[in-house]
Amino acid sequence: MIHSRKLSVVLLDVAPSLTLSLLKSQTEEWTEESKTVNIVDIFRKGGPAMWPLLALSILSVSVILERLWFWFRILTKEEDVVNRVLDAASENWLLATQLSRSAISQPIGRFLYAPLRLSNPDPEVFRLALEAAAEDELAAMRQGEKILEAVIALAPLLGLLGTVLGLIRSLSSIRLGDLGNSSATTGVTLGIGESLICTATGLIIAIVSLAFYRLFQGFLVNQVKLFRKAGSDLELLYRQAWPMAKGMLSRPPEEVAIDPHAAQYPILPPRRPGKTDEVNSAEP
């Protein structure tokens, strides 16, 4: 009994020091691992092909950040702009024009304002204005796609080129007399492992760029659907109001000015005097 108590006391005295020593050794191991895993060292081991890969990565990140900010500003406001303009167009075309003009900072606002700014256009001209505005805005939304496509294509090739150059450098240092030497084989193995860093880096850059490229493509497809639906709805409302607006062209400007329902029709151009008006004004 006395011996067991002494043993337990000794263990209690030794346990804290043992725990501290284990924690210290583990911390030293983590420190050594953090020292070995250094980005700068990895970059140097990758060889000269890492420099163009670094340039491609910076280019890709800048385009991705700019496009994310662009799409964030569009997707958070466009639904509200479309609903407000279409609701106003069903009741008051002047108000719809003002609302679309106030939203020209958004692509959908510029798209809807393009036909509404015309003065009483024919329905076919109205449709052509919508189509032309849609092409311009969708083309602007594709900004940066070519850069991402180039990064996706070039990054793996540059990584492969760096690996090939690293293999050439590693294998060129082997001599026929050193083939049985374990130290020489170990050096070649380390050189091959370091040369594969370029391939891994190029693949990582290409995969990240491809993921965001496909994301932006999905956003663009949704914009095409939204533009098509909003343009069709606005054109349908305009075609319904066009016969009434066309009939108002033959009315004197005084009647149009006092008509309380005149704002419900598309914007009318100023009524020009015809030949009959000129003849009447010429009579004494």
Q: Which two tokens stand for residue 273?
A: 């005097």
What ranges do the domains of the chain cover? 45-252
Output the pLDDT for position 188: 58
Q: Which tens digit of pLDDT belongs to each residue from 74-124?
A: 998 899 999 999 999 988 899 999 999 999 999 999 999 999 999 888 899
| Chain centroid to CA 228 | 21
CA 86-87-91 angle, to 5 degrees, is: 110
Residue 18 has pLDDT above 80, yes or no: no
Output the pLDDT for position 42: 78
What percentage of residues in the chain have a pLDDT greater than 90? 49
Over range 126-145, report the average pLDDT. Answer: 93
Spell out a b/e string for 141-171, using b for 16 or more CB atoms within 10 Å of the CB, else e: beebeebbeebbebbbebbebbbeebeeebe
0.75 exceeded by pTM = no
Most confident of 39-43, 48-52, 145-149, 171-175: 145-149
CA 252-257-260 angle, to 5 degrees, is: 120
Q: Which tens digit of pLDDT belongs to each residue from 146-199?
A: 999 999 999 999 999 988 888 887 777 666 555 555 555 555 566 676 778 899
Residue 280 has pLDDT above 80, yes or no: no
Q: Which tens digit of pLDDT belongs to each residue from 57-68?
A: 999 999 999 999
Higher per-residue confidence, 23 vs 37:
37
